[in-house]
């Protein structure tokens, strides 16, 4: 029986040895391996600071808190994302709204963003404190333009770069934060690099990094410079904020640092597989992913659209047939605002028609470093049959 998942981690003997070494050491949780992993990612991205956490969800929440998001504030993100991006604002007690996506890139549309900002401004409504673009499938959003709007309208930018470590934008690594305050990576097993569970926030702002470090560990400090009162002894620490336990373990960080040695191979493999899909699927009644010339995607996903103008097969028929053939296709994403929880907040189907239309036709094909030519041929063959 064929079983080809849509994504899968790639673990080497070196990765296993790195984890074993931590298990034999004095530190299991946040310790020297976390610091080393942070340094590796920070250098790779060319960012000033890196703060590892136990998930990207935690890192997005801490990033929002560090930027002061709270009740009475608003955050805007893309509807074409995992629920975690939007939930980060709700954890802070802030309001959430969405900006529809671009037809070609499936990323937040900068045209729609500019229109919405201008319209809210004209009505003297509440402008967002934070805009969170999501680099869908690993391809960067139009960050230069989002950065320009941030300057004009006075909001901060958090990049949800969960899909995009290893990607590039305007010849610089995603995560250099040239056009944002903070960027966040995920190390979930289906993402580019994994730590099992894990995430990291990168920033060029030392104060934001310090705030996220504090929030990562209960809001507790041992730094006399930050304390409100005099030290009561060498045991003394102070809680100066309401923080969380968002710490990454050294076990996870050792895996992450070891994985980072192969990130270029991972991205190269993903590009080779994507290029082969581009070639093999040309001519089928599907829309292939668009490549933005300003960006080099990390190719977390290979999302296609079933083109209903050229086939009578529905997305559901194609999807079911692929799954029945043992091929783990997936759909990214159910628009967040159409989730039952978000409907209770007042969102409606039809609020963001481009994302909804995209969703109805979308299907992600298997894409991971160990997907070899033989397996990929099976995927292509099955897709051809499913569309016939």
* Site for ligand PLP, rule CB under 6 A: 55-57, 81-82, 84-85, 134, 160, 162-163, 186, 188, 199
What is the C-alpha separation between 322 and 63, in angstroms, rounded?
A: 39
Residue closer to ligand PLP by CB (options 75, 386) is: 75
What is the C-alpha separation between 164 and 237, in angstroms, rounded?
A: 37
Nearest to 193 by CA among 333, 356, 341, 56: 56
C-alpha torsion sign, points 115, 118, 123, 126: positive
Residue closer to ligand PLP by CB (options 149, 190) is: 190
Task: Tell the smallest beta-carbon distance from residue 269 to ligand PLP (Å).
Answer: 19
Task: Tell the smallest beta-carbon distance from residue 83 to ligand PLP (Å).
Answer: 8
Task: Tell the smallest beta-carbon distance from residue 81 to ligand PLP (Å).
Answer: 5
Q: What angle do CA 147, 163, 177 make, to 5 degrees?
A: 30
Nearest to 33 by CA among 59, 55, 15: 15
Instruction: List C-alpha distances in Å: 83 to 106, 113, 301.
Output: 16, 20, 17
Task: For 69-84, give the secondary structure using H, E and C.
Answer: CCCCCEEEECCCCCHH
For residue 173, what are its two tokens? 């690594």
What is the C-alpha separation between 131 and 158, in angstroms, rounded?
A: 6
Task: Tell the smallest beta-carbon distance from residue 119 to ligand PLP (Å).
Answer: 26
Residue closer to ligand PLP by CB (options 80, 203) is: 80
Task: Tell the smallest beta-carbon distance from residue 321 to ligand PLP (Å).
Answer: 26
What is the C-alpha separation between 220 and 137, in angstroms, rounded?
A: 36
Task: Tell the smallest beta-carbon distance from residue 57 to ligand PLP (Å).
Answer: 3
Residue closer to ligand PLP by CB (options 80, 221) is: 80
Residue closer to ligand PLP by CB (options 106, 319) is: 106
Strands 302-306 and 49-53: unpaired
Task: Tell the smallest beta-carbon distance from residue 289 to ligand PLP (Å).
Answer: 16
Residue closer to ligand PLP by CB (options 65, 188) is: 188
For residue 295, what are its two tokens? 């960006």
Residue closer to ligand PLP by CB (options 83, 380) is: 83
Nearest to 54 by CA among 198, 207, 221, 250: 198
Residue closer to ligand PLP by CB (options 55, 338) is: 55
Task: Decide: 335 and 241 in contact? Cβ < 8 Å.
Answer: no
Task: Tell the smallest beta-carbon distance from residue 375 to ligand PLP (Å).
Answer: 23
């Amino acid at each position: 029986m064929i079983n080809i998942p849509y994504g899968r981690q790639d673990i080497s003997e070196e990765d296993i040895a790195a984890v074993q070494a931590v298990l034999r050491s004095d530190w299991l949780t946040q310790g020297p391996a976390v610091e080393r992993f942070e340094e590796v990612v920070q250098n790779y991205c060319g960012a000033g600071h890196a703060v590892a956490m136990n998930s990207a969800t935690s890192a997005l929440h801490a990033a929002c808190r560090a930027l002061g998001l709270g009740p009475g504030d608003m955050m805007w993100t893309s509807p074409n994302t995992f629920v975690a991006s939007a939930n980060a604002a709700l954890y802070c007690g802030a309001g959430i709204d969405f900006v529809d996506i671009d037809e070609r890139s499936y990323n937040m549309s900068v045209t729609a963003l500019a229109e919405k900002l201008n319209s809210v401004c004209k009505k003297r409504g509440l402008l967002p404190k934070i805009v969170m673009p999501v680099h869908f499938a690993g391809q960067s959003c139009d960050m230069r333009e989002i950065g320009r709007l941030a300057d004009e309208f006075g909001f901060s930018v958090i990049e949800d770069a969960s899909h995009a470590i290893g990607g590039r934008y305007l010849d610089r690594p995603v995560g250099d934060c040239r056009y944002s305050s903070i960027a966040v990576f995920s190390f979930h097993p289906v993402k580019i690099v994994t730590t099992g569970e894990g995430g990291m926030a990168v920033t060029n702002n030392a104060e934001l990094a310090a705030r996220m470090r504090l929030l990562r560990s209960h809001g507790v400090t041992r730094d006399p410079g930050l304390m409100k009162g005099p030290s009561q002894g060498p045991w003394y620490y102070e809680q100066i904020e309401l923080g969380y336990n968002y710490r990454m373990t050294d076990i996870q960080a050792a895996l992450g640092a070891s994985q980072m040695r192969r990130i270029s191979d991972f991205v190269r493999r993903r590009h080779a597989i994507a290029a082969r899909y581009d070639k093999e699927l040309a001519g089928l009644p599907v829309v292939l992913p668009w490549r933005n010339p300003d960006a080099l995607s990390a190719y977390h996903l290979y999302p296609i659209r079933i083109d209903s103008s050229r086939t009578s097969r529905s997305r559901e028929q194609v999807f079911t047939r692929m799954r029945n053939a043992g091929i783990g296709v997936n759909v990214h994403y159910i628009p967040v605002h159409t989730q039952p929880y978000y409907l209770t907040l007042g969102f409606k189907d039809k609020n963001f028609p481009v994302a909804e239309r995209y969703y109805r036709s979308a299907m992600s094909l298997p894409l991971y470093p160990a997907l070899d030519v033989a397996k990929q041929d099976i995927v292509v063959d099955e897709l051809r049959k499913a569309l016939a």
